[in-house]
Structure 1
């Protein structure tokens, strides 16, 4: 699955559009109000600013413009289970918490990131966390998801709605999850313990793009031709799926509201698959 001209255009228009919505959302927000269990609203925007700064550094193949000692090495050895450690270390060394300053910096860094992405083009690859290889559209899809996910957190703290466009959320699945898997997830998904023998094929399907099949074999996840009879078939609304993937919506709620359907020949293997292809802890 390669990026289409429509997806490439949508990425470059949706990222600044969602950023504008976020800026409006936090314009009168109390910076110290909790947005998550561990982060205030100001912490959340600082995190987004750091994500964009690191994205620029990946595209420019240069050190990030962040005062974090050893960040390149930290990024290289990060796994999905230690992303929270890296995030905490970055925020510890990035003390700015004035929302207007953070929003201005976030705007500047996102603008740099979009310019750099335009310069290198959609077929360029970057080295992401844990040595994973990620095409540029996947990098932008990850940023778009971060903006939507954390804006959802802030909106909930402010007791106002935040609507995620499912077509935007689909880009995260198609271009980040599938894109990184196709190009190589490096050490990102490594975990201690024995590797389960056998093969588990999971087909991901939504209405905004073609289906994709990911297969887990000997601890590695790869993209395979679409399996018409997979072990597990996930049919989902992409906005609900991304919120569920990052713990904002419960799996039972997603199923009961018919935003997620689990089928296939051996659907009980989904938890086994997700122990490797798992969200950050």
Structure 2
């Protein structure tokens, strides 16, 4: 991760506090979230379960292998499939659905994560359920993304305003890119050889290379097939499936160039769901 855009627990606290404040105002916790199979209350419960999940790994009180054995997933399942199974299990086991209680639990959970994270080196790899290892900054970025994106989900269901700041989105994008190689769609990218430069407005540049079902992310510099210039918020929302890419392209928030610019439209399909 670019150290200039490495999220801190202070960033996480700020966005979790916004999500908690929103939860305390929702008029209908049983309302369905647009685009998801969850209600507002279930989405909030997921936020709490997720922060507790990462706290356990950061504190060393949870082991990835132990959690994985409890999930109904095939050996070698993609990280996105494991995440989906873990999310479903967590919502079955964590039954609280009162938004006020969940708001308090979310903020308390973030404090637990911050305390656990403080005891880890920023470079220390920590195994997680989906088979990937994460450092504390990557975990923090992942949790920050949960607040931003699911905050938006809850706000849409409640017809409430929700703003995602560019810098906050960039912090999440840095974490996503640190994990991106593990989320490449092996089937779809089998036999593929393609390279991208990702340029974020107000942020860093990265080189994303796919080679026959594998991927790696490095600092930009070497020649690439396609250059994508992106607003971080647009990149985040398209990547998390909260908006379509064509609308962002037409608004100039996603622009493709280079010698094979048409490859820009294929980028989102290279990765499985996070």
Query: 1:39, 1:78 → 2: CA distance?
Result: 23
**2:37 corresponds to which residue?**
38
Counterparts of 1:189-268 in structure 2, within 5 Å, are: 189=184, 191-192=186-187, 195-197=190-192, 199-227=193-221, 229-268=223-262
**Any idea what the Cα deviations from partners look like across 1:66-85, whole Å, max 9, x if unmatched?**
xxxx6333399652441333
TM-score by length of 1: 0.85
CA RMSD of aligned residues (A): 2.4
**1:147 corresponds to which residue?**
147
Structure 2, gaps ≥5 residues long: none
CA contact (8 A) 2:33 2:156 kept: yes
Range with bigger deviation, 237-246 or 38-47: 237-246
Q: What displacement does 1:163 show?
A: 0.5
Query: 1:194, 1:110 → 2: CA distance?
Result: 37
CA contact (8 A) 1:200 1:273 kept: no
2:126 equivalent to 1:126: yes
Report the count of equivalent residues. Answer: 266
2:68 pairs with 72, 75, 79, which one?
Answer: 72
Query: 1:230, 1:192 → 2: CA distance?
Result: 22
TM-score by length of 2: 0.87
Structure 1, gaps ≥5 residues long: 65-69
**Any idea what the Cα deviations from partners look like across 1:174-211, whole Å, max 9, x if unmatched?**
2x123235xx63xx5464478224x2111111133220
**2:160 corresponds to which residue?**
160
Q: What displacement does 1:224 show?
A: 3.2
Cα distance, 1:3–1:125 mapped onto 2, change above 3 Å = farther
Q: What displacement does 1:227 show?
A: 3.7
SS in 1 for 2:32: coil
Cα distance, 1:26–1:274 mapped onto 2, change above 3 Å = closer
Cα distance, 1:238–1:25 mapped onto 2, change above 3 Å = same
CA contact (8 A) 2:256 2:262 kept: no
Query: 1:193, 1:248 → 2: CA distance?
Result: 22
CA contact (8 A) 1:216 1:273 kept: no
